[in-house]
Chains A and B, each alone.
Chain A
């Protein structure tokens, strides 16, 4: 069990930046009247961010990952969250075993 001073500093800085992002929005004035267009942009934030995080794996890694992601999309339409994760993991293992 070792800890390096630079690594510790990096972790603390990452943690501080992350906590800041978690509280800053909360302290913004919440009385903004949004236009329909701004509201649409606001509503798009969660799916846009979630897609942006996984797109490299789902779309730019290989055909197995892309196919497994499509299988997850189909599973997500009818299975609960854990079911989708299970289907995805089984799919990627099977596809990697094939080729």
Chain B
């Protein structure tokens, strides 16, 4: 890997991630504002964005937040929601073979849905270099932590985030990310199963179980819809 390749990979990473980092700003502002409404100090909210750095788990934490903080429940909710990282890491591992272990262990701190989705797309054409990964990885925590601090500081001044539709930015961002995984009928089955199971469990049992129920339902539906190994060999047609 030459210096030239490194800087080209860095530029490619920044080019891929910047729109996502921009989109993370309003979401981080909302997180900060909601955290301060829940009684967290601006320092505490900012620290959470820095140390946890996982939007879905952080919003879920606010939903179940009480004083004093229910540490075990928070840990469990965080584990359920972030368990998906285990599968992302398993999928990325063979595509990051060029990185020494210390670089991987450091780089993985910045693993997010967004950085992962971009890296997987990159891996379709070339291996993921440390330069590319860090370029993709580093802008997002900057935007996320900074926006959290500002949102928490301005929390009271901003008023209800719903007035600006900012609470919906997270949902819109995820819909755009889901669209990137669209592969036709097989994806539709996953979306319907995961959405239905998540919504039903959210209404009946509650947070954070909707994440694990929806994820498992979507994965199970995909497995059931896929012909078994034997019939797949005979039938080589694919979804569009």
A residues within 8 Å of B by Cβ? Answer: 1-4, 6-15, 17-19, 21-28, 30, 35-60, 65, 68-69, 72-73, 75-77, 79-82, 84-85, 87-93, 96
- Contact in complex: A21, B40 (CB < 8 Å): no
Q: A70 to B222, alpha carbons, bound, how many Å?
A: 23
Query: Which residues of B are found within 8 Å of A59, using beta-carbon distances?
Result: 195-196, 198-199
> Looking at the complex, which one of B26, B81, B86, B165 makes contact with A92 (CB distance below 8 Å)?
B165
A4 to B109 CA separation, bound complex (whole angstroms)? 25
Sample 13 A-B pairs with CB under 8 A, ordered by A number. Answer: A9-B69, A10-B74, A13-B74, A21-B86, A40-B186, A52-B213, A54-B170, A68-B172, A73-B175, A81-B177, A84-B175, A84-B176, A85-B23
In B200-238, the 8 Å CB interface with A consists of: 202-203, 207, 210-223, 225-229, 232
Interface residues of B in 67-121 (CB under 8 A from A): 68-71, 74-75, 78-79, 81-94, 96, 104-105, 108-109, 111, 113, 116-117
Chain A minimum-CB-distance residue to B46 = A1
B42 at the interface (CB under 8 A from A): yes
Contacts of A9 in B (CB 8 A): 69, 71
Q: Which residues of B contact A85 (CB under 8 A)?
A: 23, 26, 169, 172-173, 176
B15 interface residue per 8 A CB criterion: no
Q: A45 — which chain B residues lie within 8 A by C-beta?
A: 84, 87-88, 215, 219
How many residues of chain B have a CB within 8 Å of chain A?
Answer: 104
Set A26, A58, A69, A77: member contacting B93, Cβ < 8 A: A26
Contact check, B43 vs A38: say whether CB atoms are below 8 A apart. no
Q: Name B's interface SS.
A: helix
- The interface residues of chain B lying within 8 Å CB-to-CB of A89 are 26, 164-166, 168-169, 172
B167 contacts which chain A residues (CB < 8 A)? 92
Contact between B82 and A58, CB atoms less than 8 A apart: no
Task: State in angstroms the CA–CA spacing of A53 and B138 once bound together.
Answer: 24
Please report which residues of chain B, range 18-69, place their CB below 8 angstroms from some CB of chain A when the two chains form the complex. 19-20, 22-23, 26, 40-44, 47-48, 51-54, 56-57, 61, 68-69
Using a CB–CB cutoff of 8 Å, the interface residues on chain B facing chain A are 19-20, 22-23, 26, 40-44, 47-48, 51-54, 56-57, 61, 68-71, 74-75, 78-79, 81-94, 96, 104-105, 108-109, 111, 113, 116-117, 162-179, 181, 183, 186-187, 190-191, 193-199, 202-203, 207, 210-223, 225-229, 232
Complex Cα–Cα for A77 and B212 (A):
27
